[in-house]
Amino acid sequence: MMPRSPARWAWSQVTRARQRLPPGLDYLVERFKWSLRRPPADLELAPPVPGAAPRVLIAPTNFAGQGRAWAQALVRRGPGGAGNWAYRAQPGFGYQADYAPAITINAAPTAFQSAQFNRVVSRCQAVVMESGWPIFGRLFGYSAAREALALQTVGLDVAVLWHGSDIRLPSQHRATHRLSPYALPALKSRAAELESTARRNRRSMGHLGLPQLVSTPDLLDQVEDGRWCPVVVAPEVFALGSSGMVAPILAGGPPRVVHVPSDPLLKGTDLVDPILRRLAAQGRIEYLRAEGLPAVRVLELYASADVVADQFRMGIYGVAAAEAMALGRLVVSDVDRSVRALVQQLTGLVLPIEQAAAEDLEEVLERVIADPAPFRALAARGPAFAEAVHSGVRSANTLAAALGMDQAEG
């Protein structure tokens, strides 16, 4: 690994400690950070949010494509329109958005940001702010909290939506999970930065009294009065799963096990990859591991799998597991009992994911090989669960309630 420059090292130290700064000083640090960035050369205003009123904008992170998925779920719900913005920090998995400039759009001149703000205010009735990121850059000093207050002042409804690492405290996760990735030496610096970010987000956004939504049920323990807005599986995934073009699982021969970690350290790839490689070398399974693929290619891999080995350190489930369930694949993962209990409490349904801690994965796969029938039955429950919880209906209703759209429609 190349050594970091003294300036980068110094900035990383500041980043780790920002939650301990007084709010006013932290605000100045944020302004200084953005003053060093150059905006894109080709500035272009966002397109108007489409559809009829009430219109909702979801912005600006779109992690795992969920900002767009929630917006489309609102459109399917009706009667209003919705759109999403995604400020790109890096290429990522290639998720689509209605407006996807580089994140340095935040450094654009105030006149440009004012035009963006006015376009949103003149067109939308509500904004869902993702992850505590600023939407309008320097116009409100790169402060999502100030933006929220400004939007409310001109009459828009505002909610905050947290995806995970933007609000989850690594220190708390380390204390409650013996295999927490945040205890890994390789993640020491990153965990400190995430801790600082989560604490700053709580401090800046938590006191505003806004509805707060979370994308995964474990985060309900992190956000007071939070509401679960489930991740959404795209309609085309359900269509593929029911099209007859996806082969039945566990139909004979070594099962194909797929592992596609979006982040290997967080997903526990180091724990399970040696096990899966060994079983593949013995001819017990066929093993496919891939990283950094476009979203459509990931879905193709899931559709070709008998078993999707999801994650083994965080104790949660998210988009990957939901998509695999929608496709009728057997999902094997380490999901906390508390998460399973919350899902059942909130939905009335049992989460159809086969439980396996990393050290139990080989034994679980041997049972799958020896007697596949009960595992086929478990996987067969996946599409109905995904349809009930992750089709977007539940998520759109949650968003509408949080934004007061139900009262407006009534």
**What is the band of 25 on the pLDDT scale with cuts at 50, 70, 90?**
confident
Q: For position 153, what pLDDT does the model report?
A: 98
pLDDT of residue 409: 52
Quick check: is 19 in a domain? Answer: yes
Average pLDDT over residues 375-398: 98
Which two tokens mark 81? 């329109």
User: How high is the pLDDT of residue 92?
Assistant: 47
Residue-level pLDDT at 150: 98
CA angle in degrees (0–180, nearest 5) for 91-163-194: 80
What is the per-residue pLDDT across 281-324, written as a single tens digit (0 to 9) for each?
Answer: 999 999 999 988 888 889 999 999 999 999 999 999 999 999 99
Locus of tokens 């049992």: 350
**Is 246 within the bounds of a domain?**
yes
Q: For the residues 126-131, what does the mean pLDDT come to?
A: 98
Cα(300)–Cα(246) distance, integer angstroms: 10
Q: If you average pLDDT over every residue of the chain, what do you get? A: 92
pLDDT, mean of residues 96-106: 93
Sorted by sequence, the CB contacts under 8 Å of residue 175 that are 6+ apart come out as none
Per-residue pLDDT of 179-206, as tens digits, reads 999 999 999 999 999 999 999 999 999 8
Clarify whether residues 73 and 153 are in a common domain: yes
Residue 31, pLDDT score: 79
Judge whether 1 lies within some domain.
no
Q: Are residues 144 and 255 in the same domain?
A: no
- Local confidence band at 28 (pLDDT 50, 70, 90 cut-offs): confident
Please check whether residue 266 lies inside any domain of the structure.
Answer: yes
What CATH number did the domain enclosing 86 receive?
Answer: 3.40.50
Res 407 pLDDT > 60: no
Among candidate residues 239, 260, 397, the one with its CA nearest the CA of residue 326:
239
Looking up residue 283, the CATH number of its domain turns out to be: 3.40.50.2000
Query: How many CB atoms are located within 10 Å of the residue 26 CB?
Result: 20
Whether 8 maps to a domain, the answer reads no
Query: Are 115 and 175 within one domain?
Result: yes
pLDDT at 140 over 90: yes
Is pLDDT above 50 for 62?
yes
- 278 and 351 within one domain: yes
**Residue 274's pLDDT is what?**
98
* Angle at 57 (CA atoms; ends 54, 61), nearest 5 degrees: 160
Provide the residue range defining the domain that includes 94.
14-231+395-405
- Residue 85 in any domain: the answer is yes
For residue 399, the number of C-alpha atoms closer than 13 Å in the C-beta half-sphere is: 37
Domain count, the chain: 2
Q: For residue 29, what pLDDT is reported?
A: 77
In the prediction, which pLDDT does 7 show?
A: 63
- Percent of the chain past pLDDT 70, that is, above it, reads 94
Domain annotation covers residue 2? no
Does the pLDDT at position 368 exceed 70? yes
Question: What is the average pLDDT across 19-37?
Answer: 78
pTM of the model: 0.92
**pLDDT of 2 strictly over 50:** no
**Cα distance between residue 62 and residue 100, in whole Å:** 9
pLDDT at 8: 64
Provide mean pLDDT across the span 149-170.
Answer: 97
List phi, psi (to 5°) of 82. -160, 155
Confidence of residue 23 (pLDDT cuts 50, 70, 90): confident
pLDDT interval class at 17 (50, 70, 90) = confident
Closest to 293 measured CA to CA, from 258, 254, 255, 336 = 258
Pair (285, 239) in one structural domain: yes
pLDDT of residue 11: 63
Average of pLDDT values for 136-154?
96
d(CA 151, CA 166): 22
Q: Are 353 and 333 in contact (CB under 8 A)?
A: yes
pLDDT of residue 90: 65
Neighbouring-strand partners of residue 317: none
Q: Count the alpha carbons within 13 Å of 136 in the hemisphere toward its beta carbon.
A: 26
- Residues 170 and 275 placed together within one structural domain of the fold: no
- pLDDT of 81 > 70? The answer is yes
285 lies in the same domain as 309: yes
